[in-house]
Structure 1
Amino acid sequence: MVVVFVLVGLAVLVAFGALHWYAWRRLVRDTTRGPGLARRTGTVVIVTGPVLMFGALIAERTGAPFWLQRVLAWPGFLWMAFSLYLLLALVAAEFVRPLVRRLVEREAPAEVAVPQPERVPAGTAGTAATEPEPEVESAPEPKRPEPAGPPRAAAPSRRLFVSRVVGGAAAAAAVGTVGYGTYGVLRGPRVKRVTVPLAKLPRSAHGFRIAVVSDIHLSPVLGRGFAQRVVDTINSTQPDLIAVVGDLVDGSVQDLGPAAAPLSQLKARHGSYFVTGNHEYFSGAGQWVEEVRRLGLNPLENARTELPAFDLAGVNDVAGESEGQGPDFDRALGDRDTTRAVVLLAHQPVQIHEAVRHDVDLQLSGHTHGGQLWPGSLVAAAANPTVAGLERYGDTQLYVSRGAGAWGPPTRVGAPSDITVVELASKQA
Structure 2
Amino acid sequence: MSAFKKLSLELKVALAAAAVLFSMVVSRTYLIDNIESVTRMRLFRVQFLVLVNVLMLIGSLYIWKRTVVFKSSQAAQSCCLSVWKLCVLLFLTLAHCSFFTLILLVGEEPYLFAQVAYTCLGAYVILLFWLFVLGCLEQCHRLLLRGRVTKTAMLNGRNVSKVTLAVAVTVVLTVIGLLNGSRPPAITRVEIPVHRLPKSFDNMKMVLISDIHLGPTVGKTKLEVIVKMVNNLKPDVIVIVGDLVDSQVVNLKSAVEPLKDLKSNLGTYFVTGNHEYYTVDVDNWFKHLQSLNIHPLHNENAKIFSTTSINDWICLAGVDDIEAAVLRYPGHGMNLEKALNGCSQSDVIVLLAHQPRAAKWALETRPDISLVLSGHTHGGQMFPLTIGAYLMNPFFAGLYKVGESSYVYVTTGTIYYGIPMRLASRSEIVEIILQSH
Task: State the match for 2:180 in structure 1.
Answer: 184
Alpha-carbon distance between aligned partners in 2 of 1:29 and 1:233, rounded to the nearest angstrom: 53
Task: State the match for 2:298 in structure 1.
Answer: 301
Change (3 A) 1:54 1:187: same
* SS in structure 1 of the partner of residue 196 of structure 2: coil
Alpha-carbon distance between aligned partners in 1 of 2:79 and 2:301, rounded to the nearest angstrom: 65
| RMSD (Å), alpha carbons | 3.0
Code of the residue aligned with 1:345 in structure 2: it is L
* Deviation for aligned residue 1:170: 3.1
Q: Does residue 354 in structure 1 map to residue 362 in structure 2?
A: yes
Alpha-carbon distance between aligned partners in 2 of 1:361 and 1:290, rounded to the nearest angstrom: 30
**1:16-66 deviation per Cα after TM superposition (whole angstroms, max 9, x unaligned):** 133222342389658x96422221121112122222222221342xx3354
Gaps in structure 2 of 5+ consecutive residues: 1-16, 25-50, 142-152, 306-312
How many pairs align? 367
Alpha-carbon distance between aligned partners in 2 of 1:64 and 1:334, rounded to the nearest angstrom: 41
Is the CA contact 1:365–1:400 (under 8 Å) kept in the aligned structure 2?
A: yes
Q: How does 1:407-422 map onto structure 2 within 5 Å?
A: 407-422=417-432
* Deviation for aligned residue 1:98: 12
Code of the residue aligned with 2:272 in structure 1: it is T
Q: Which of 118, 124, 134 is the matching residue for 1:77?
A: 118
Change (3 A) 1:384 1:163: closer
Alpha-carbon distance between aligned partners in 2 of 1:336 and 1:242, rounded to the nearest angstrom: 20
* SS in structure 2 of the partner of residue 83 of structure 1: helix
* SS in structure 2 of the partner of residue 258 of structure 1: coil
Task: State the match for 2:55 in structure 1.
Answer: 12
Task: State the match for 2:45 in structure 1.
Answer: none
Task: State the match for 2:315 in structure 1.
Answer: 311
**1:69-124 deviation per Cα after TM superposition (whole angstroms, max 9, x unaligned):** 9354222211111122223344555659999xxxxxxxxxxxxxxxxxxxxxxxxx
Change (3 A) 1:286 1:293: same
Greater Cα radius of gyration, structure 1 or 2: 1
Code of the residue aligned with 2:356 in structure 1: it is P
* SS in structure 2 of the partner of residue 406 of structure 1: coil
Structure 1 length-normalised TM: 0.77
Query: What is the percent sequence identity of the aligned residues?
Result: 28
Code of the residue aligned with 1:5 in structure 2: it is L
Alpha-carbon distance between aligned partners in 2 of 1:197 and 1:403, rounded to the nearest angstrom: 23
Is the CA contact 2:126–2:383 (under 8 Å) kept in the aligned structure 1?
A: no
Alpha-carbon distance between aligned partners in 2 of 1:170 and 1:37, rounded to the nearest angstrom: 22
Q: How does 1:48-197 map onto structure 2 within 5 Å?
A: 48-60=90-102, 63-64=103-104, 66=106, 70=111, 72-91=113-132, 167-197=163-193
Is the CA contact 1:23–1:87 (under 8 Å) kept in the aligned structure 2?
A: no
Task: State the match for 1:289 in structure 2.
Answer: 286
Code of the residue aligned with 1:350 in structure 2: it is R
Alpha-carbon distance between aligned partners in 1 of 2:23 and 2:340, rounded to the nearest angstrom: 42
Alpha-carbon distance between aligned partners in 1 of 2:255 and 2:57, rounded to the nearest angstrom: 37
Alpha-carbon distance between aligned partners in 2 of 1:48 and 1:161, rounded to the nearest angstrom: 26
Code of the residue aligned with 2:376 in structure 1: it is H
Change (3 A) 1:33 1:282: same
Alpha-carbon distance between aligned partners in 1 of 2:229 and 2:66, rounded to the nearest angstrom: 40
* Deviation for aligned residue 1:387: 0.9
Task: State the match for 1:373 in structure 2.
Answer: 382
* SS in structure 2 of the partner of residue 397 of structure 1: strand
Q: Does residue 46 in structure 1 map to residue 92 in structure 2?
A: no
Q: Which of 338, 342, 345 is the matching residue for 2:345?
A: 338
Alpha-carbon distance between aligned partners in 1 of 2:57 and 2:97, rounded to the nearest angstrom: 17
Gaps in structure 1 of 5+ consecutive residues: 100-156
180-189 or 247-256, which deviates more: 180-189
Code of the residue aligned with 2:188 in structure 1: it is K
Task: State the match for 1:147 in structure 2.
Answer: none
* SS in structure 1 of the partner of residue 235 of structure 2: coil
Alpha-carbon distance between aligned partners in 2 of 1:208 and 1:93, rounded to the nearest angstrom: 51
Q: Which of 205, 210, 214 is the matching residue for 2:206?
A: 210
Code of the residue aligned with 2:401 in structure 1: it is R
* SS in structure 2 of the partner of residue 259 of structure 1: coil
6-15 or 44-53, which deviates more: 6-15
Code of the residue aligned with 1:77 in structure 2: it is Y
13-22 or 3-12, which deviates more: 3-12
Alpha-carbon distance between aligned partners in 2 of 1:53 and 1:87, rounded to the nearest angstrom: 12
Task: State the match for 1:138 in structure 2.
Answer: none
Alpha-carbon distance between aligned partners in 2 of 1:201 and 1:341, rounded to the nearest angstrom: 6
Change (3 A) 1:168 1:4: closer
* SS in structure 2 of the partner of residue 251 of structure 1: coil
Q: Which of 405, 408, 413 is the matching residue for 1:403?
A: 413
